[in-house]
Structure 1
Amino acid sequence: MIDLPETLHVSRETQERLEAFVALLEKWNPRINLVSSRDIVSVWERHVVDSLQLAPLVAGQERFIDMGSGGGFPGVIVAIATGVAGTLIESDQRKAAFLREAARVTQAPIKVLAERIEQVDLVPAPVVTARALASLSKLLEWTAPLLEKQGKALFLKGQQADEELTEARRNWHMNVRIHRSITSHDGVILEVSNLERV
């Protein structure tokens, strides 16, 4: 456990649920490699706090969809921190099983779909999230059918963000607000809205 940054302050109950999630992650990780073995020692700083940055941007929404949820980042963390209902899409059956167990243990309001993103049939949501999943162009392809017309997509990105934006704008019109990451000097959160194919 670590002291969370003041900007990401959570209640004691939420902190306890985050701790329960991390304990479960540490238990499952040797079997199904949810995060790399070198990352497990810094899971709070590298994964939990990074994911928590999305919480203020999701709070107050009716629901969200998280694509490629993997080890639960950011989907489980955002659901725990905000109480907003999340649909987590993860095609790996073992990781989906972990996510379902995480929902049970933490009582996070999430539903897990063990399907490929391209094949899900969901009612569009006001928010779509993703972290460490694919290029921005690919994320936008997957996001378009899942996002409400007036909704926003939140993508945690690294040092290639500017190049990926340039590439994506060849095929997409969109408004982009860039939030600087508090966990990485070259990391950003891309807040995408008014998404429309060129």
Structure 2
Amino acid sequence: MKAHDIGINVSRETLEKLERFASLFQKWAATINLVAPSTKADLWQRHIADSAQIFKIAPDPKHWVDLGSGGGFPGIITAILLTESGRGWVDLVESNNKKASFLRMAIAETGARAAVHPVRIEEAQTKLLDCDAISARALADLNQLLAFSEPWAQRNPSLRCFFHKGRDYQTEIDKARGGWDFDLLIHRSAIETDSVILELANVRRRSQPAQGAE
């Protein structure tokens, strides 16, 4: 799959940035476990085009926080696509120092509108106070992702979350409904048949009944 097949109409300059990112990724992935080894050969479709779907759903310039950025998916791809308008920003949260170094190099090579924060998500919750949107891919189940997102949701009632999920997404939704209230849109993946992107808004923890209450 080539860069022009990502499902979004972008400029030649942006395509060149994605190509530079792909080349850098392949170089670093030879020595650092950035994605599952079995998926490296299908980088464009399995990772770049898949990540670009979030931007296609929410293309307006936003201040994003990307949790567990890892090899840059979806955060770096969003940040590269934001260079089209020169607006919007992505704060990449990645506690692994080697992966954080890769992300810094990717930003330097592509001019992506992003910054790297080599801290745990719990620390990022108190350092990165405001954002419009949160993204995550292959990080944790939905219940945990909502717990990670809660501090930002409390500070910004308009916050929207975009989470890639695989074929068991309905099980995760049902489990999360036990402890959380949220509005939900399910976007079917154009890349993986059984995958979706969950778009959540109005995330709030369900109040627990008082102890001893019937």
Shorter-chain TM-score tier: over 0.9
Provide the C-alpha distance between the structure 2 equivalents of 1:3 and 1:74, rounded to a whole number of angstroms. 15
TM superposition shift of 1:7: 4.1
Corresponding residue SS for 1:34: coil
After TM superposition, the score normalised by the length of structure 1 is 0.95
Aligned-CA RMSD value: 1.4
Q: Which residue of 1 aligns with 2:209?
A: none
Provide the C-alpha distance between the structure 2 equivalents of 1:93 and 1:73, rounded to a whole number of angstroms. 16
Corresponding residue SS for 2:17: helix
Provide the C-alpha distance between the structure 1 equivalents of 2:22 and 2:168, rounded to a whole number of angstroms. 28
**Which 4+ stretches in 1 moved above 4 angstroms?**
none
TM superposition shift of 1:82: 2.4
Q: Which has the larger radius of gyration?
A: 2
Q: Which residue of 2 aligns with 1:75?
A: 75
After TM superposition, the score normalised by the length of structure 2 is 0.89
Q: Which residue of 2 aligns with 1:164?
A: 172
The alpha-carbon distance between structure 1 residues 161 and 74, as it changes in their structure 2 partners (threshold 3 A), is same
Provide the C-alpha distance between the structure 2 equivalents of 1:102 and 1:21, rounded to a whole number of angstroms. 6
Q: Which residue of 2 aligns with 1:15?
A: 15
TM superposition shift of 1:32: 1.1
Q: Which residue of 2 aligns with 1:140?
A: 146
Match for 1:39: what amino acid?
Answer: T
- Structure 2: unaligned runs, 5 residues or longer: 207-214
TM superposition shift of 1:8: 1.8
- Structure 1: unaligned runs, 5 residues or longer: none
Provide the C-alpha distance between the structure 2 equivalents of 1:176 and 1:153, rounded to a whole number of angstroms. 10
TM superposition shift of 1:149: 1.3
Say if 1:61 and 1:126, in contact at 8 Å, map to a contact too. Answer: no
TM superposition shift of 1:140: 0.3
Q: Which residue of 1 aligns with 2:24?
A: 24
